[in-house]
Structure 1
Amino acid sequence: MLSRVYCASTIGVDARLIEVEVNRTSGMPKYFLVGLPDRAVSESSDRIEAALSNSGASFPDGRITVNLAPADLPKEGSAFDLPIAVALLDVSGQIKTEGLHETLVLGELALDGKLRPVKGILPMAVQAREKGLKNMVVPASNGPEAAVVDGINVYAFGHLGEVMEWLRDRESHDPLSVEVRQMFRENGQQQILDFSDVRGQENVKRALEVGAAGGHNIILVGPPGSGKTMMARRLPDILPPLTLDEALETTKIHSVAGLLPSGKALVTSRPFRSPHHTVSDVALVGGGSIPRPGEISMAHNGILFLDELPEFKRSALEVMRQPLEDGSVSISRSRMSVSYPSRIMLVASMNPSPTGDWYDPADPAGASPAQMQRYLSRISGPLLDRIDLHIEVQKVSYDELSSKSKGEPSARIRKRVVGAREVQTQRFRGINGVYCNAQMNTKMSRKICLLDEAGASMLKKAITSLGLSARAYDRILKVSRTIADLERSEAIKSNHVAEAIQYRSLDRESWLA
């Protein structure tokens, strides 16, 4: 007798439908599992046998062959426990099979029959809907995540016995539903860090506003205690809110990585990832024998913050160059190739010298210009080329620290940022993969970022007299366009270009002079 049950497996951030085929014949009791299972899948028979026994069912006797099709696709994880158990119940006649051909079944089994959550539920639910399946059976903890997807009935259970009861009587349980808008409203009510707490640093806050408005990568250069990390952690609060499509993209990655909190259905706020400087290449960009997303993909649609940038391994920083340019990470292995999205806003911070402070001719114990140059040279030119805004952060004075007046709140800054992003949304409508000014390629920037005579003259003078590199040209054009958008100006004016030039300090040949 043969039984088929549908389940799914993730490949990158997408899923693929898997057929669990169970064939039972007479003979000596024997259990075979084929179809490129990994260790976790191969060990499922012991968990399933104990779970069936503790749920009032029995493991079928005879010769049992379980095939996970397609057979050439590696299978890994514990999500196959429940579909194999259901197929065994079906092949032994212990459940009804009506509607089983239009149901996706996923879940890990505990020995007592309880259902434990599994990774990658959201992309699996999307795949089930695209394949025309009507029902989806998942562990209770994964229920809200699966229910975010419209067009499929999600049934969430806590025990194998409940699944068996539903299979015998389909009216015994109602499908789960969630309110997506309520999730976004609840996120908006959460306590957040606010720029009103930042004393002074008005020029830095302005630069961060420009970066957020255009999605530009940023590097903050300043001595310890000047507030670089504090301001970087407040940056997500002035970014535009996630759209539903962005939330689904982000949630897919967190779900596949197994980092979505239990019971949480959707990532509704922009990610902020801050890995330690000892992070490995694989942990930062992704990879492994079985590819997994790295920090740069976990920050998709959000911010990747690298504190003390020169302390990161050079190899780890260099592998970021391609993801920053393309907005995706491609990982190739002998058995498969996967791609993870990595459309991020990179924010980095660093000290100006090994001693932590700026060059001071009056301080003989301070860093010399040569020491500062060697320290800054730890960051390669190609990586620096992908950072649009170089922001010099000075120490805050006592008068500013002791002031009782608060700074401009994040909500007001965010309103201006959202307005500038709306202008960019209209500008790039219909252009695939471009959502903000920072994502323009060279051809687009030359076409869209047109300068008047005064602006062109100023930029030419900056490149020749200030020692700006040629690679800074396109970056200045893009940042100028963003500054103009913040002012709702269709034309890029000379004052916009002048402000953009100020944000290229690390490109100046004479900046240490």
Structure 2
Amino acid sequence: MIVKVFGCALMGVEAQLITIEVNVSRVAKIYMVGLPDNAVKESHQRISSALKNIGCKIPIKEITINLAPADIKKEGSAYDLPIAVGILSATNQLKCKNRLKDYLIMGELALDGKIRPIKGILSIATFAKNNGFKGLIVSSDNAKEAALIKGLEVYGAYNIKDINNHFNGFLKIKKTYNYPALSSRTDFMLDFNEVKGQNYVKRAIEIAAAGSHNILLIGPPGSGKSMLAKRIPSILPPLSIDEAIETAKIYSCIGKVNSFSGMVDYRPFRSPHHTVSNVALAGGGSNPIPGEISLAHNGVLFLDELPEFKRDALEVLRQPLEDRKIVISRAMKSVEYPANFMLVGAMNPSPNGGFEDLNSINPERKSSVKKYLSKLSGPLMDRIDIQIEVLPVSYEDISSKIKQESSHEIQKRVVKARKIQLSRYKKYALYSNSELTPKLMDNYCKLDFESEKLIKLAVKKMSLSVRSFTRIKKVARTIADLEGSEQIQKIHLFEAIQYRKLDRIKI
């Protein structure tokens, strides 16, 4: 007798259908085929123990288990539960043959029959909804997360005995519901009202947050670069439901979602150390997992002491900054992870930390500065929209008793500008000005005659690349949105040009 049970394999943040076929005949042996890894092959020992401990019989017969399609490698212990359900059904201990086709079933079994949670359940639930499955049966610890996907029946079982009772009509498992309430938090532990002075830098950061632009802070040690960067999440717009679920899918793949709500409540802020490897930054491994750039999706990736990162690690950022995704290719498979993040970098202007070396006539100093800045390639710098110098705070600012503007007040202006952008680009499914394509820029970043003259002069004087030119126009569009202006004015463009610090430095 052949029984089919349906499960899933993860391919990045997407799921793919796996059919578990169980056939029982007379010879006392278990065969498992369909490219299972060692963890899957070992599952029959966990399953045998679990079924015995809940009072079910293990048939002394040949049991053939096929995991199809056979060309996809099946990894991990998440197939324990569907295989066990298939064995119970094939041996007539579970009266559910006609109903199994309506459900995806996934979970790891403990030796006592308890169902343990698995990673990637949000992607599996999305797949189930999009492919016409009625429901999903998972561990009770995964149920809240899976129930974020509306229109899908989610059953969270504590023990495989619960599933046995459910299908045999003894005691039904209750459906799990999840009505997420996204936070509108304003009481961040790190607030811009703690930062004295630096008003021009705060202005640049506000523009970056309003348009989701990449920003680089350049200044000597102690000028407040890291302090400013760490407060950026406090002025970003709250996550929308779609963004929260999209972000939660990535964290679900590594098992790091909020166990209470099943989702990621706030925009991510990732700050890897400068010794981070290429794989840790971009993602990868023999069984690819998301890296820091994907974990920062819909949030902020902060790279402090930017030139101290390995150059090849920084070059990994070039494609994701442009395409807003990362494709990781291995011999056996290729997976894609989203990587739509706001890059925030901080660096000293020279190896000694100060600005004075930039204009030094000393050949040795000039050479050391050139070598230091050469770690940041031109193509990478082109992708950073705003480059702003952060000068040391004066004594007058430090000792001032004037109350500084709070993150909440800045956030209100940022949210207002983002709403303008969401409304403008609604039909293109874009969230911010930083995502504009060249074609859309022709429509929404038009310049008047005076502005055209100004940008032409800037391109000539600063030797700007085409990519730098387009970044300036996107920043100008955001400045116009913050001012409530429908058209980009000359003053908006002039301010945007001032935010190209490294383009104005000639070594």
Partners of 2:466 and 2:332 lie apart in 1 by 42
Match of 2:66, SS?
Answer: strand
| Map of 2:252 onto structure 1 | 255
Tell whether 2:29 aligns with 1:33: no
Q: Unmatched 5+ residue regions in structure 2?
A: none
- Give 1:145 shift: 0.3
Q: Say which of 349, 355, 358 aligns to 1:358.
A: 355
| Map of 2:448 onto structure 1 | 452
- AA partner of residue 6 (structure 2): Y
| Map of 2:297 onto structure 1 | 300
- AA partner of residue 311 (structure 2): R
Cα gap change, 1:156/1:340 in structure 2, threshold over 3 Å: closer, same or farther? same
- Give 1:144 shift: 0.5
- AA partner of residue 39 (structure 2): A
Tell whether 2:415 aligns with 1:414: no
- AA partner of residue 103 (structure 2): T
- Give 1:509 shift: 4.2
> 1:467–1:508: 8 Å Cα contact kept in structure 2?
no
> 1:468–1:509: 8 Å Cα contact kept in structure 2?
no
Q: Deviations over 1:12-68 (max 9, x none)?
A: 1111121111111002x2111111111211111111111122222232221111111
Cα gap change, 1:412/1:190 in structure 2, threshold over 3 Å: closer, same or farther? closer
Tell whether 2:82 aligns with 1:87: no
| Map of 1:437 onto structure 2 | 433
- Give 1:436 shift: 1.6
- Give 1:472 shift: 2.5
Cα gap change, 1:498/1:413 in structure 2, threshold over 3 Å: closer, same or farther? same
Which deviates the most, 194-203 or 418-427? Answer: 418-427
Match of 2:332, SS?
Answer: coil
Alignment of 1:110-129 (within 5 A): 110-129=110-129
> 1:469–1:508: 8 Å Cα contact kept in structure 2?
no
| Map of 1:476 onto structure 2 | 472
Partners of 2:441 and 2:291 lie apart in 1 by 30
Tell whether 2:373 aligns with 1:379: no
Match of 1:368, SS?
Answer: helix
Match of 1:16, SS?
Answer: strand
Which deviates the most, 399-408 or 195-204? Answer: 399-408
> 1:220–1:350: 8 Å Cα contact kept in structure 2?
yes
> 1:302–1:344: 8 Å Cα contact kept in structure 2?
yes
- Give 1:328 shift: 1.1
Q: Say which of 212, 219, 225 aligns to 2:209.
A: 212
| Map of 1:222 onto structure 2 | 219
Cα gap change, 1:441/1:307 in structure 2, threshold over 3 Å: closer, same or farther? same
Partners of 2:402 and 2:169 lie apart in 1 by 66
| Map of 1:395 onto structure 2 | 392
> 1:143–1:263: 8 Å Cα contact kept in structure 2?
no
Which deviates the most, 468-477 or 121-130? Answer: 468-477
> 1:51–1:109: 8 Å Cα contact kept in structure 2?
yes
| Map of 2:197 onto structure 1 | 200
Partners of 1:32 and 1:136 lie apart in 2 by 27
> 1:23–1:64: 8 Å Cα contact kept in structure 2?
yes
| Map of 2:481 onto structure 1 | 485
Q: Unmatched 5+ residue regions in structure 1?
A: none
Alignment of 1:32-431 (within 5 A): 32-97=31-96, 99-169=99-169, 172-180=172-180, 182=181, 184-185=182-183, 188=185, 191-359=188-356, 368-431=365-428
Q: Deviations over 1:198-257 (max 9, x none)?
A: 111111110000001111111111122222112111111211221111111111111112
Q: Deviations over 1:263-319 (max 9, x none)?
A: 441112111111111111111112222222111111111111111111111111112
Q: Deviations over 1:84-106 (max 9, x none)?
A: 11111112222221522212211
Partners of 1:42 and 1:404 lie apart in 2 by 68
Partners of 1:173 and 1:465 lie apart in 2 by 71
- Give 1:262 shift: 3.6
TM-score (norm 1): 0.93
Match of 1:430, SS?
Answer: helix
Match of 2:356, SS?
Answer: coil
Partners of 2:260 and 2:75 lie apart in 1 by 23
TM-score (norm 2): 0.94
Partners of 2:78 and 2:446 lie apart in 1 by 54
Partners of 1:291 and 1:470 lie apart in 2 by 34
Partners of 2:32 and 2:462 lie apart in 1 by 69
Partners of 1:339 and 1:302 lie apart in 2 by 18
- AA partner of residue 452 (structure 2): A
- The number of residue pairs the alignment matches comes to 506
- Give 1:3 shift: 1.6
Cα gap change, 1:469/1:18 in structure 2, threshold over 3 Å: closer, same or farther? closer
- Give 1:119 shift: 0.6
Q: Say which of 497, 500, 506 aligns to 1:504.
A: 500
| Map of 1:463 onto structure 2 | 459
Cα gap change, 1:469/1:153 in structure 2, threshold over 3 Å: closer, same or farther? closer
> 2:383–2:467: 8 Å Cα contact kept in structure 1?
no
- AA partner of residue 63 (structure 1): E
Q: Deviations over 1:371-422 (max 9, x none)?
A: 2232111100011110000011111223323334331111111111111112
Match of 1:479, SS?
Answer: helix
Cα gap change, 1:465/1:324 in structure 2, threshold over 3 Å: closer, same or farther? closer
- AA partner of residue 118 (structure 2): V
Partners of 2:260 and 2:22 lie apart in 1 by 32
Match of 2:228, SS?
Answer: helix
Match of 1:123, SS?
Answer: helix
Which deviates the most, 167-176 or 222-231? Answer: 167-176
Q: Deviations over 1:107-163 (max 9, x none)?
A: 111122222110110111111122222221111211100011111111112222222
> 1:135–1:153: 8 Å Cα contact kept in structure 2?
yes
Partners of 1:19 and 1:113 lie apart in 2 by 22
Partners of 1:56 and 1:213 lie apart in 2 by 60
Which deviates the most, 350-359 or 257-266? Answer: 257-266
